[in-house]
Structure 1
Amino acid sequence: MDWIEFESMNVGRYYFTLTTLGDKILAAGGYTPQGITATVEVFDGSSWKLQNYELTSPRHSHCSVPISESQVMLLGGYSNDNLSLVEVYSIEEGFIAELPSMPTARRGLACSMFNGEIWTAGGDNFGYQDVVEVLTPGFTNTWRSGPKLTKRRVYLTMEVLDNNLVVFGGDGGVDSLEKLEGEDWMEEPLQYGHKQHASVSILCN
């Protein structure tokens, strides 16, 4: 497992989202030296290209969930205030639809698709959050409350590992993960502390 350097992005940014869609990677929003950006760029395997569309508003510290090989859902974040916004974008066409807002506006949250639903956890809304909210997509597009985390966490990450929903680290719980077991989160230690980090699920033999 070696690192290979590729061409840099067109816009230097942090607190943005990076989402794999099919054979491409989409970078959206974030914070730049010039301020919060609404720009979007796509990596095609060899180079980055700025898209001819932007997000409906500048934002950073949001989260993203791929919902197909060409569409991504962006949730929450921060613009002039914490956002509860939920939007769907096409990698080629840009904005498609706005879905019902999250009940709790927040930035620095984690999100993932799990059992056909969109799960969100943690974040910051004038204080670290232990809130978990779940969107059931489809005809109703309704939100419900899920089991609260054992710790209030912000800038955490979430992955589905071996059919289990897991959150990792974040301010408020840098040295632990939490795994959803039934209706309860079970905390386990991490070897190293992680906050404002990134995570990627990979296949292991």
Structure 2
Amino acid sequence: MLTNIFLSLCLCLTVSSEDVVKEDSFGAVLIGGFESGVESYPCSLEVPQLPSTLRSTAATIYNGSLQICGGWNFDESFFDECRVVENGEWKTVSKLVVPRNDHTLNTLGSKMIVTGGYGALKFLDVVEIFDGESWKRSADKLSIPRSGHCAVSISDTELITIGGQTSNGGPLLVPLPNIEMYEEGIGWYEIGEIYPPRFGHACVLMGNEIIISGGSAGDHVVEAMNLETLEFRRLPSTIQQRWDHTMEVVNGQLHIFGGLWEPYTMEWFDGEEWHLEDLQFNHLDSTSAVLPCN
């Protein structure tokens, strides 16, 4: 009897994130980055490889479909295309007003919103809204031009942005502490600050908290910001340093993918500690989204 109990405990302790897909039905797709590869975890998702080099693009799920917008390639071209997968190929379905990379892309109800980024050799304060037909500049600009920030939709009409970097006109870039809320029909207003200021971090909504990981201020650090109190608490640090990575909630668990220092690895959190696994491609400056498994 004791032997059976011991074996059961051992089996529970050695369950990997891939085993979760047997009971749940979602996976993360990783798109672009240094090698511009496309792969999925923990299940196989039918998303084709990109037709060309694409770094620092952004992804969201809009009307049930994966959509990516913007980005850049090695000849310093900035992209304005928004693409979806149709019949096994990437197809351009709309174009941003301002080409950009290192921006955010989120779904707000029946709309999409793009904030900030870098394009035309400058940091951007331009916000664009997709109304279902085309992208249009919003009159509600960011308070400070920025890139390398993160953004989370917390409702069909509300978006929160955290941190980022900007220029003060000199050779050094300035990390930002700003935490700002966008409300449809109202615009932007500041709701707090994150310290130390940072860029290149990732954030994701999980329950009533926004989880923030890595970045320039502490590339092992993981924090949770309570949406009601706006107070922060620390979570266990990641195993590897993470900067310009992505983060998703997959089947109820936090997953972190790629990034500077460890672009060929990912980590998943079991509620107590992080676990390290390998990736196929270099996912520095990539994007990700969560889709149902095939």
TM-score by length of 2: 0.65
Over the matched positions of the two proteins, sequence identity in percent amounts to 34
**Match for residue 65 of structure 1?**
152
Could you tell me how far apart the structure 2 residues matched to 1:105 and 1:188 are? Answer: 29
Residue 173 of structure 1: how far off its partner (Å): 1.2
Residue 34 of structure 1: how far off its partner (Å): 4.4
**Match for residue 114 of structure 2?**
27
Quick one: which of 88, 93, 100 aligns to 2:192?
100
Residue 26 of structure 1: how far off its partner (Å): 0.4
Quick one: which of 135, 138, 151 aligns to 1:48?
135
**Match for residue 202 of structure 2?**
110
Q: Which runs of 5+ in 2 are unaligned?
A: 1-84, 168-173
Single out whichever of 2-11 and 171-180 deviates more from structure 2.
Answer: 2-11
* Partner SS state of residue 155, structure 1: coil
Which letter maps to 1:89? Y
Q: Which runs of 5+ in 1 are unaligned?
A: none
Residue 159 of structure 1: how far off its partner (Å): 0.5
Could you tell me how far apart the structure 1 residues matched to 2:93 and 2:252 are? Answer: 32
Instruction: Check conservation: 1:132, 1:146, Cα contact below 8 A.
Output: yes
Which letter maps to 1:72? L
The 5-angstrom pairing of residues 1-205 of structure 1 reads 1-2=85-86, 3-80=90-167, 81-95=174-188, 97-125=189-217, 129-138=219-228, 140-205=229-294
TM-score by length of 1: 0.93
- Residues 68-112 of structure 1 show CA distances to partners (whole Å, capped at 9, x for unaligned) of 0111100011013111211111244320x3223112211110000
Could you tell me how far apart the structure 2 residues matched to 1:160 and 1:7 are? Answer: 28
Larger RCO: 1 or 2 (CA < 8 Å, sep 6+): 2
Residue 190 of structure 1: how far off its partner (Å): 1.1
* Partner SS state of residue 82, structure 1: strand
- Residues 127-184 of structure 1 show CA distances to partners (whole Å, capped at 9, x for unaligned) of x61111110111x221111111111111100101001111100111111111011221
The structure with the largest alpha-carbon Rg is 2
* Partner SS state of residue 107, structure 2: strand
Could you tell me how far apart the structure 2 residues matched to 1:124 and 1:165 are? Answer: 20
Could you tell me how far apart the structure 2 residues matched to 1:167 and 1:14 are? Answer: 20
Instruction: Check conservation: 1:100, 1:142, Cα contact below 8 A.
Output: no
Which letter maps to 2:287? A
Residue 204 of structure 1: how far off its partner (Å): 2.3
Instruction: Check conservation: 1:108, 1:156, Cα contact below 8 A.
Output: yes
Could you tell me how far apart the structure 2 residues matched to 1:175 and 1:91 are? Answer: 38
